A and B are shown apart, each in its own frame.
Chain A
Amino acid sequence: MTSQETARQSAAPWVRLVVRDGNLLRLFIACVLIFVVMTLLRPEVFPTVENFRSMGSQFPEVGVLAVAIMIAMLTGGIDLSVVSIANLSGVLAALFIRTFIPAEASDVQVVIGLIGAVVIAFAVGMLCGLLNGLLVARVNLTPILATLGTMTLYTGITVVITRGNAVFAENRLTFIGNTYLFDVIPIPMLIFAVVVAVFSVILNRTAFGLKLYLIGTNEKAARFSGIDVPRTLIGAYVLSGLLAAVVAIIFLGRNNSAKWDFAPSYVLQAILVAVLAGVNPAGGSGRLLGIVLAILALQFVSTGLNMLLLAVSGGQFFKEFAWGALLLIIMVINYFSERRR
């Protein structure tokens, strides 16, 4: 055994994964490259604690949504309704907080009230996911269509409940957006880390996770090998809805309010992250590590461009261009590297 091989075997599992998977490797290189370039261009503002705190509170929303999209994509489906679910559960959680936590509430009351709000949000998210799952698995609707319809439906329900107005959460959850663990790590980032940890166990260590990949690889084969395909699919969409509800809590934590038309562009951004991460939209393959690397790369690009183009009018829009370009460039590189093999 050569020393090189020993080194490769003793390396951490994620390092081995990155080295073996071309797409992950390219994403990793992109991350490092953007980071280094930005550090060289803006040494006084980019590699600072201040900047990391601000970046760390920005990316988790789309990051968690991308995990939700990934779960659906693994089965060969897609969930376009995630943001509308987040807005619906956010609105209901905010209404719960307003109704059941009085202004002069004691600490215990506040804690119980907040737990209630989170439970409401999660329950709504899972319920919405259940409807998606039923439409996809039992009615046999194409996932794009099913979730396109429910996206409009959930948004509509939110409009009806709020009459189109924003609902404020009385600053009860804003600690999520303002608190930092060890003064550096924002709570949303912590939530993202927990989501990634929990889902890496679900996807890699449970029978359910394996079934998701199998269904996405070959649904017919999965069915004939005895997997209850409809039930697994429903499970996938329920989980996706649950993750959307997690995002709802982060939204409330950052904005102190929920509204029916908040962040519609996050749907396509989350898909973009998932695809960039190497999740196959046709199902069967994709890794959470890819999501982490992809969202980091995009965050570095956005923040970096913001810093570079601060003085230019409309500079904040350049990142949209850069994101699209990055997606296409990585896809084209993947095309060439796959053809070489």
Chain B
Amino acid sequence: MQVKKLLAKQETLVALTLLGLCLVIGFINPVFWTARNWFDLARSATVTGIFAIGVLIVLISGGIDVSFTAIAVFAMYTTTVLLKDAQYTGGMWLFFVIAALIGLGLGLINAFFIARFRLPTLIVTLGTQSMFRGFLLFVIGSKIIRDIPPGMADYSKAFLFTVTDDRGVTVGLHSAVLWLVAIAILAFVILRYTMLGRGIYALGGSREAAERAGFNITRTQVFIYAFVGVLAGVAGMIYGGLNRQANAQDIVGQELDVIAATVLGGASIMGGRGSVIGTLLGVMLVVVMSNSLVLMGIPATWQRVVVGAIIIIGTAVPALRTLRRQRRSVNVEPELLAPVGGRT
């Protein structure tokens, strides 16, 4: 019974798929199991993972956010411009503080429209995405900054530790992954152990019920979009640091991919359901799959076909399972309907 319950969870399904995938890829090409490859995977998963946790919280609350990529690039580019103009030569921490504050500000703009006017979240974030990006490119700048301040340039080499493999190549695990770990733990604790987290799930389950149960919807929504803004700011800054440049036209356009990875991990787009672990697994599945095609001897041009197929199959299987379960229980329906039909 316990096993059956566990198997029915999307998280378990994704974890098993991921495991199977790793075994197959590792079998085809042992390079997969090298430290270098896993450091690369961790690096690729970091920014997407942080975005995905933000998306998760929004999805659980029954909303959808497509503006976080615009917030990320806005925060990253503006911070770089500010600190470059100030000829700041210190460490990376100040970049993160400023980017997080900018993200917070922009997130609060989303929160204002969503909580105050009760507008659909998709529409609001569609509008603000356009506004944030337009403002960034028009007012702040649109040129790629390659001559970044030293603190940001050094960040790309901020490894937690390095390993020298048998061919004498030194590779390192980038410290940015700590951000992902910390944010994942924070989100996990908020969602599972706090009243705020309960409120987010309740809001996604049914707004009315959450309101009657005494949750402060406005405060919950303000927290959600502000939090997502901060996460986006931090993730954007990491992205800029890892790439050693600030490109104002970057990042926007990835939002749908991140949402897809989150949903793959079991978050319901209708709200009320989703977990941090599932989300991380979903992100890992997409990252491992798209990073390992070349290792498996599949041309890189197939990447999108594979990712698209994963998304469709990964969401269709649980959907079909629910459908079958519903069909089985529908058998009772004619009896329930009988009195209505029989009324004359």
Contacts and interface: CB of A to CB of B under 8 A. Distances in A.
A50 interface: no
B123 A331 contact: yes
B33 interface: no
Nearest to B302: A160
Contacts of A152: 257, 260, 304, 307-308, 311
Contacts, number: 154
Given A142-B270, A149-B260, A156-B304, A324 B319 contact: no
A331 B302 CA distance: 41
B128 A160 contact: no
Interface in B219-259: 253, 256-257, 259
A324 B127 contact: yes
B126 A271 contact: yes
Contact of B320 (A139, A153, A281, A282): A139
B131 interface: yes
Contact of B312 (A80, A149, A318, A319): A149
A20 interface: no
Contacts of B50: none
Contacts of A49: none
| B-side interface mostly | helix
Given A149-B315, A320-B130, A155 B304 contact: yes
A164 interface: yes
B304 A153 contact: yes
Interface residues of A, number: 47
Given A328-B128, A335-B119, A151 B308 contact: yes
A156 B269 contact: no
Interface in A101-160: 135, 139-142, 144-146, 148-157, 159-160
A271 B120 CA distance: 13
Contacts of A271: 122, 126
A321 B131 CA distance: 4
B311 A149 contact: yes
Contacts of B38: none
Contacts of B126: 268, 271-272, 275, 324, 327
A187 B274 CA distance: 48
B205 interface: no
A325 B302 contact: no
B129 A268 contact: yes
A317 interface: yes
Interface string B283-298: 0000000000000000
Interface of A: 80, 135, 139-142, 144-146, 148-157, 159-160, 163-164, 264-265, 268, 271-272, 275, 281-282, 314-315, 317-325, 327-328, 331-332, 335
Interface of B: 64, 66, 113, 117-120, 122-124, 126-135, 137-139, 141-142, 253, 256-257, 259-260, 263, 269-270, 301-309, 311-312, 315-316, 319-320, 322-323
